[in-house]
Each structure stands twice: as structure tokens, then as C-alpha cells.
Structure 1
Amino acid sequence: MNSSGTTATAEFGLRLVVPDRASVPLVARLDYTAEDPYAIKVAFHVGEDEPVEWIFARELLTVGIVRPVGEGDIRVWPSKGSEERIVNIALSSPFGQAQFDAPMAPLAEFLHRTYEIVPAGEEKDFVDLDAEIAEHLCS
């Protein structure tokens, strides 16, 4: 896990849950930056191709390690595996659905580091609203 004053990055193993089959081990990379304080980018490395990337609300992952949260495209909930506490992440898109089991400890540690960079409730102080509006108006 890496972090600086404005960014945090982590890579850890997780499992793709495949019904009626053994789970498939994968690696996920999480990236957080104070420039986008509400979001965490997760890249799922699913093979030799480019990783599959999703953007998660930081709050969704934070709440999801404590209780079930989310509806629609992303749902997150805690559970206890046979040996460790895990976080379940279910994703849905027009291209299909996937469910992952991630170890809670490294996810919680990563989230803790993001809140050291941008404390809860202070996200708006890191967003340049005028620049965001200008970018969308000029696009």
C-alpha cells in the first residue's frame, strides 16, 4: 500500500464468486486522490487484458464494511468467511453481473488512509466547483 499527502493506492487479492464452481482469485487495485475526494477507482485485474475499472463512492465502501448498502449497480455488505471477515461486492451492468469477496482488513486500512487524506465531511473543501462547472460547459 502506498500513500502520499494527496493520494492512496492499494493492491490486494480477492475472489470472483462463480456459482456452482470454485471461486476465482483476482487482484484489485484501489486508487484514491484528494482531487476527486468522493470517489475510489477500483481496477479488477481479470486476465491479461486491460483491467476492468469501476468508480465507487468512498462512503459506499465505508458503510459496506459495517452493514449492507447500495442498490442497483453496486451493492456492498460484510460477512464472515471461514477464516476471515470479508466484504462482498456485487456489480451489475448491461454487460453482466459479478460478485467478489474481498478481505476486510486491507480494505479497511485503505479506507482509513483515504480519511487521513480527506476527512469525512471535508470533501467539498477539495473540490474546485468553478473548474468542474467550466469543464462541463466547455465539453
Structure 2
Amino acid sequence: MNSSGTTASAELGLRLVVPDRTSVPLVARLDYTSDDPYAITVAFHTGDDEPVEWIFARELLTVGIVRHVGEGDVQVWPSKGTGERTINIALSSPFGQAQFDAAISPLAEFLHRTYEIVPAGQEGDHVDLDAEIERHLHS
């Protein structure tokens, strides 16, 4: 895991849950920056192709550690199994659906570092609204 005063990144081992009840191990890279304090970018490495990137609300992943959260395209919830605590992430898009599970502890450690960079409730202090409006007006 890497972090600086304004960014954090980590590699997270995931398991892709497939219909026949087996799982396929994958690695995802998580990136956070205070420039976009509400979001975490997750790049799923699925082989030789370019990684598949999704952007998650930081709060969605945080709340998903303790209870089911999300509607539609992204849902996150803790596992109810025994043994190692895991988190489930279900993704849906026009191109397909996928469900992953991962150990909670490395994700929680990464999230903790993001909250050290930008504490909860202070995200708005790191957003330049004028620059964001300008960027959207000229895109």
C-alpha cells in the first residue's frame, strides 16, 4: 500500500464469484486522491487486457463493510459466513454482471488511510466548485 499527503493506493485480492460456486482470484488496484475526495477508483485486472475501472463513492465502500448498501449498478455488503470477514461487491452494467468478494481487513485499512487524508465531512473543503463548473461547461 502506498500513500502520500494527498493520495493513497493499494492492491486488493478479490475473488470473482462465478455461477458454478467456484471463484477466480483477481487483483484490483484502489486509488484515492484528495482532488476527488468523494470517490475511489477501482481498477479490476482481468488478464492481459486493460483493467476495467469503476468509480465508487468512498462512503458506499465504508458503509458496505457493516451493512448492505447500494442500489442498481453497485451493491456492497458484508459476508454472513464464518471465518475470515469478507465484503461482497456486485456490479451490473449493460455489458454484464459480476460479483466479487474480498477480505475486509485490507479494504478497511485502505479506507482508514483515505479518511486520514480527507476526514469524513470535510470532502467539500477539497473541491474547487468554480473549477468543476468551468470544466463541465467547456467539455
How far apart are 1:79 and its partner, in Å?
1.0
| 1:122 match | 122
Please report the TM-score for the alignment, with normalisation by the length of structure 2. Answer: 0.97
Cα deviation, 1:4-63, whole Å, max 9, x if unaligned, reads 000000002110000114200000100000000000000000001000000000000000
Q: Aligned pair count?
A: 139
Which one-letter code corresponds to 1:17 in the other structure?
V
Gaps of 5+ in 1: none
How far apart are 1:131 and its partner, in Å?
0.2
Distance in 1, Cα, partners of 2:13 & 2:97: 19
Secondary structure (helix, strand or coil) at the match of 1:111 reads: helix
Residues 1-139 of structure 1: pairs in structure 2 closer than 5 A:
1-139=1-139
The 1:21–1:79 alpha-carbon spacing in structure 2 relative to 1, beyond 3 Å, is closer
Please report the TM-score for the alignment, with normalisation by the length of structure 1. Answer: 0.97
Distance in 1, Cα, partners of 2:89 & 2:21: 18
Gaps of 5+ in 2: none
Distance in 1, Cα, partners of 2:57 & 2:88: 15
